[in-house]
Amino acid sequence: MVEALNFDAIVLDEASAPPLRLVIGSLLSRARRADVAIEHIRLAAVDLTAPELRQVHCRLLMGHLDVEALSDLAIADQAARRLRAIGDFLESGRLEVRAAGLLRWRPDFSVFELPPPHGVVALVGALYFSDAAVVGGPALTCVIRAPAAVARLQRRFADLWVRARDVGDVLRSELTALGALDQQP
């Protein structure tokens, strides 16, 4: 979707074409790696497809792991499908999840490492992985390619990442309890 990556920055809002959800999906499907820092995320509302997650290695940094948000939505068929996709991604070994605890950042941001010649693209602002109607309300997101700005975001993510706690096993346990992952022998 962001085919012509010959810009320093563009701003997306709820009226942008393509919508943010498609931009994120396109970046994920082409990225080798994605570092995503989202302070509050409802994992059961994340709607990503297998082609979008096929090759990317993702480090997801959350402000906190909201287990209740998982169980509240797990009863709906769509949420169950979404949770299974997250479980499959986690089990692939290409999804690492950490919770930041008392660490904070604003706004949310992500960095996508694309294959040559595209380089690195960052998103700063509202990040969501579902249809905009699910998120509700206007939102702004800046797509950045300027090398110095992207490098600064990469350093910020790295600093937060090393100070956060791995919650992959907690997430795996919760997804198993909700039936989104098979029981381990």
1 assigned to some structural domain: no
145 assigned to some structural domain: yes
3 assigned to some structural domain: no
* Inter-residue contact 28 to 48 (CB < 8 Å): yes
pLDDT in tens, 44-101: 677 888 889 999 999 999 997 766 666 555 556 667 777 888 889 999 999 999 999 8
Pairing assessment for the beta strands 9-12 and 109-113 based on DSSP bridges:
unpaired
CA distances from 161 to 50, 73, 91 (A): 25, 27, 20
CATH of residue 66: 3.30.870.10
Report percent pLDDT > 70 for the chain: 82
Which three-class secondary structure state does DSSP give residue 185?
Answer: coil
Q: Which range of residues forms the domain containing residue 156?
A: 9-177
2 assigned to some structural domain: no
4 assigned to some structural domain: no
Pairing assessment for the beta strands 57-62 and 95-99 based on DSSP bridges:
parallel
65, containing H or E segment: none
Q: Which of 14, 11, 3, 129 is nearest to 60 (CA)?
A: 129
185 assigned to some structural domain: no
Which three-class secondary structure state does DSSP give residue 25?
Answer: helix
Q: What is the reported pTM?
A: 0.87
pLDDT in tens, 11-45: 888 888 888 888 899 999 999 999 999 998 877 67
Q: What angle do CA 27, 31, 35 make, to 5 degrees?
A: 90
40 assigned to some structural domain: yes
Would you say residue 144 has pLDDT above 90?
Answer: yes
Name the domain count of the chain: 1
47 assigned to some structural domain: yes
Q: Which of 5, 3, 2 is nearest to 119 (CA)?
A: 5
Q: Which of 167, 50, 54, 53 is nearest to 101 (CA)?
A: 167
